[in-house]
Chain A
Amino acid sequence: MNDTHDSIVITGLGVISAFGSHPENVWDALENVHNGRVKLNNYLNEFFTLENVSGIPIQNWNPEELLGKKGLQYMPLSAKYLMGAALLAVRDAWSEDQMPAPDQLGLVVGSNFAGVKTSVVFDHTTITEGPKYVSPMEAPNGLANSPASYLAIRIRSRACNTTISTGQNAGIDALGYAMNLLRNKRATSVIVGGVEELNSRVLWIYENSGLLPGKETDTAGVPFNSNSSGIVPGEGSAVAVLESRSEAEARGAHIYGELVSWGSSFSTDIRPERRANALERSITQVLQKSGLKKEEIRLIIASANGCNPQDRAEATALNNIFSEYQLPIMTVKETLGETFGAAGLFQLLSAVGVMTRGVVPPTVNLSPNTEHLNVLSGLSSTKRNLEMSGSNILLTSQDTFGSSSALLVRAT
């Protein structure tokens, strides 16, 4: 799957996050452990009922400043986040006269819950007031692919438009899918985004999935810690522009890094040791496809979100492969929150941050009772300098239901 003659590179980045709308804002938040957690009590209703759950919502972002007023009235929040991040990524990658032809510009989005809010409103309105009282203007918003749909119209992306819903893997899987599109020449450039929004009904799903803390709300979101009481939900969008190295170099684009290989596996048994085997297979796939040895990995950006037993499975997998190496590991979800479909893109954005700044952010809330696995000695509660030139970063992720994904990124 890997074409060594013409690798796939990142030439644009954009983000809409709780910490701001520039990659530097996210990198600062990670490095300096900014605390974006607030109580989500304003989302409480008859469906979402857990009081004092902390989350990391986006506050005080005005989409009109970036997107203009036109068309926003009926656009769902997820679409606004995605469109905002994508427009910033497009501006980062191309000047107006460099934009690829619509037939060569593809779009891939990782997202899971974009349509939930509208489908709830439509169905509730139908049974309480009648079907003629739903808004036809919002009809497409109940589908998971609506953010990608709005974005494609805005940026005139015609080569392809695919939404992927593989839980927390969706962002990494979207990147893998986009790599395949580019390698098979189905597009010359692909905009890859991840997006998720917080609302009462998404939190209702998280609550019923047992992902949120019950009473012990202050101990949530502690990565790789068996005492962590659940996830800290987040929202937002991160977007990367991908193209072939030859295209990028021909137009003199800034290259942030290179995507090397993608892998995906599933465990039919959700016990941590079996889930660990699946993640190990995903990691082995990306190593085999890249031709790299495991000792050539310089940094791991894990998906640990403070939810057991997923974190235990991830730690076990990493330990089984990398325990003999003193390999730095970092996590991002304790600061950025668990953003599900956007998480993989936030991990990629974080990887670019490390490559750009040469600094590995700390893993916050790291406590002494962290699992006693050798590999986790690679976590640090303080930031570290790390020269990344030409080095490889491994991103890992797991879905609630047993699938796992991995992605290799290389610094230029």
Chain B
Amino acid sequence: MNKRVVITGIGVLTPVGSGKEKFWSAISEGRIGTSRIEGFDTSMFEVHNGGEVRDVDPSSYMRLLDPLAAPRTTQLAVAAAKMAIEDAAFHSEEYLTERSGVCIGTTIGNGSIIEQDHDRRQKQGTKLPPDYIRNFPISYISAAVATELGFEGPNLTVPTACAAGNYAISWGADLIKDGMADIVLVGGSDALSRFCYTTFHRLGAIAPDRCQPFDKNRKGMMVSEGAAVLVLEEQEKASKRGARIYAEFLGYGLSCDAHHPTAPHPDGLGAILATERALSDANVKAEDVSYVSAHGTGTKANDSTESKALRKIFGELIDSIPVSSLKSMLGHTMGAASAIEAAACALSIYNSIIPPTINYEVPDEECVQNIVPNEPMFSRVEVAVSSSFAFGGNISIIVLGRIDK
């Protein structure tokens, strides 16, 4: 397990912009990507905002598979994967196809099929075609990515809700460390889902206008869509082919709150356990951490318990370590969230810029205080910790670090 794993390619589709350059430019400038939802009729809900990918048609990235038979979550994953491969300047002959793997996380998977089928039956009295419905299984997401890119190594899909991206990244890294693959496409993908919107709406968790993580007056999260795929390679092989290395994957920690199906443990028990294990796995001390990319959904419960956990782990250091939440700009992209945040951490390390937390106005004494407020911070990032928490108590924390160029 002494192989080093590095990030050499980034592909993203988000409500603030798609493609690495556009995404990085938007989050560095603190642009907000959430607005009134167009993907489905929100008139029946008490809130109407969310985040959608509008600048790119993900179906246009599918070449081998019929895009009309691919649900949007799958399309987003394929598009992100192709962007990532292009960004990595990867040539297929550089690795054996059977040692090239795929591992993607998701929350809702291809659930849009159910919603489209309901709409069609209700409005038109017709059914969806079988060729579309047959692609409902979650495993189709990774299978489609692999098929489009010719990757015939391990092919895995992880539906660990809103922490799924980090789960997929860490499993992909392990596949390389264990010698099962040389290159793995890892990430997360979720299309905007009416079911998901209904769920958070019924729980009273959606903010009416904007997402304000860690702000005293925060009113909730925003349901969004997106995808991110990272190219992970074994460091020696990546260096040998002259790949640009954004960051090194240093380690990860897992845990479970085992407390409640939807609510976090009030003392952040699982968050503490996973973060401590991630730091230990990465062989990093608390004082070495230069940036925390928080889960920071903007709900009362998440942000206060996450803060409690950060204070417990880092002590007084947390008052000097910059903390930010991308969800203030993107909303919560579900299974894609932690993958997008991992992409942001890698770019943060590479560019020495920490993206801000937008809409941060009034500090909350129950939350961490050193939020990067509304403007980016220009600071060298040696080590970034990225946190993800999910329904089911699923928790995965990853640690990325600067690699000597």
Contact = CB atoms under 8 A, between A and B. Distances in A.
Interface string A167-207: 10110010001001100101000000000000001001101
Nearest to A267: B152
A126 B198 contact: yes
29 contacts: A123-B198, A126-B195, A127-B44, A131-B45, A134-B199, A139-B199, A140-B391, A142-B199, A144-B109, A145-B394, A146-B261, A149-B393, A149-B394, A158-B257, A161-B394, A163-B392, A164-B159, A181-B254, A186-B277, A265-B152, A266-B101, A268-B150, A281-B152, A400-B137, A401-B137, A401-B139, A402-B147, A403-B139, A403-B155
A127 B157 contact: no
B118 A264 contact: no
Contact of B158 (A122, A164, A169, A210): A164
Contacts of A131: 44-45, 197-198, 201-202
A265 B133 contact: no
Interface string B154-172: 1111111100000100010
B155 A158 contact: no
Nearest to A405: B154
Given A131-B201, A159-B255, A266 B139 contact: no
**Size bracket, chain B contacts:** 35 or more
B152 A278 contact: yes
Contact of A126 (B44, B157, B392): B44
**Size bracket, chain A contacts:** 35 or more
A155 B109 CA distance: 27
Interface stretch (B4-12, B15-23, B28-36, B174-182): B174-182
Interface of B: 1, 44-45, 97-98, 101-102, 107-109, 111, 114-115, 118-119, 121-122, 130, 133-134, 136-140, 142-144, 146-147, 150-161, 167, 171, 174, 178-180, 194-195, 197-199, 201-203, 254-262, 269-270, 273, 277, 390-394
A264 B180 contact: yes
Nearest to B261: A140
B156 A173 contact: yes
Nearest to A281: B98
A149 B134 CA distance: 27
A268 B202 CA distance: 41
Task: Give the most central of B97, B118, B154: most A CB within 10 Å.
Answer: B154
A266 B258 contact: no
B130 A209 contact: yes
B222 to A, nearest CB: 16
A319 interface: no
A163 B133 contact: no
A162 B167 CA distance: 8
Given A119-B111, A120-B114, A134-B202, A158 B270 contact: yes
Interface of A: 1, 46, 102-103, 106-107, 112-113, 116, 119-120, 122-124, 126-128, 130-132, 134-136, 139-140, 142-146, 148-150, 152-153, 155-167, 169-170, 173, 177, 180-181, 184, 186, 201, 204-205, 207-210, 263-268, 278, 281, 285, 399-403
Nearest to A139: B199
Nearest to A124: B118
Contacts of B167: 162
A288 to B, nearest CB: 10
Contacts of A120: 114
Nearest to B117: A47
